[in-house]
Amino acid sequence: VIFNSSLEASKIVAQEIANLIQLKQELNEPCVLGLATGSSPIKVYEELVRLHKEEGLSFANVVTFNLDEYYPMDKSNIQSYFYFMHEHLFNHVDIKPENINIPDGTVSANELRQFCVDYEMKIKSYGGLDFQLLGIGRTGHIGFNEPGSHLNSGTRSITLDHITRVDAASAFLGIDNVPRKAITMGIGTIKNAKRIVLLAWGNNKAEILQKAIEGEITSNIPATYLQEHNNTTFVLDSEASLEL
């Protein structure tokens, strides 16, 4: 779906999430959201905060699982996805702290494998993700599933692609400060979501979006795996759609 502006698109995506939260409330069920970081979802989070403050949308039944986190990474670090999510969403809504799940960039190397297994199991214990919000990296990554990621991959640690580290360099004040690794939900984890919405804005995403949407399905461009998911929408602004 192509919109004239990312703001207009973000409001519609936020409304879909709000409707799902309210539907689950009526059913007395948790609403299990997979959440993304990066610049793309910021306006969706702003709109969700507005719906909470001005229209009484409650997050009391919401359980969240974030896609990824740099590794290693302290929670207090302003570049952490932990910090990002609290800054943009969690600090401004009534979500219960125990319902927030973010891959833990502070676990020791020895505990990392078990942490990933437990994260995956916890998502499954809720019956999977009701809704997954995604961005896309210039390598075609979703979460931090870099080229080469397997279709059935689960939550795991991954080595970041050079392009991904270049793109993160300004936030870290230089590429040397960008972590070389991350923890990410897998392609399998994401594909099990009942509904997926991928957001992409601006012409620097146009080329990878053309490949992701119209190219053949390949592990070289992990976002192409979404072509096989039966309830995924790519939400773009007009600039991001220029190569389609």
Please give the residue whose beta carbon sits closest to ligand GLP in the complex: 135
DSSP SS3 for 171:
coil
For ligand GLP, give the closer residue by CB, 81 or 115.
Answer: 81
Please, what is the minimum distance in Å from the beta carbon of residue 164 to ligand GLP? Answer: 5
Please, what is the minimum distance in Å from the beta carbon of residue 69 to ligand GLP? Answer: 9
Please, what is the minimum distance in Å from the beta carbon of residue 137 to ligand GLP? Answer: 4
Please, what is the minimum distance in Å from the beta carbon of residue 51 to ligand GLP? Answer: 21
For ligand GLP, give the closer residue by CB, 95 or 133.
Answer: 133
Going by the DSSP 8-state scheme, the letter that residue 29 receives in this structure is -
For ligand GLP, give the closer residue by CB, 62 or 158.
Answer: 158
Please list the residues that pair with 131 across neighbouring strands.
33
Active site residue 146: yes
For ligand GLP, give the closer residue by CB, 57 or 123.
Answer: 123
Residues that bind ligand GLP (CB under 6 A): 36-40, 67-68, 135-137, 143-144, 164
As a three-state string, the secondary structure of 41-92 is CHHHHHHHHHHHHHHCCCCCCEEEEECEEEECCCCCCCCCHHHHHHHHCHHH
Strand 62-66 to strand 100-101: parallel, antiparallel, or no bridges (unpaired)? parallel
Please, what is the minimum distance in Å from the beta carbon of residue 140 to ligand GLP? Answer: 10
Q: Please, which residues have CB within 8 angstroms of residue 104's CB and are 6 or more apart in sequence?
A: 69, 115, 183
d(CA 199, CA 233): 9
For ligand GLP, give the closer residue by CB, 135 or 186.
Answer: 135
Two structure tokens written together for 102? 């973010």
Nearest Cα to Cα of residue 196 among 242, 237, 243, 142: 142
The catalytic position among 47, 69, 120, 146 is 146
Taking each helix axis as running N to C, give the angle between helix 6-26 and helix 42-55, from 0 to 180 degrees, rounded to the nearest 10. 50
Tell me which residues are annotated as active site. Answer: 146
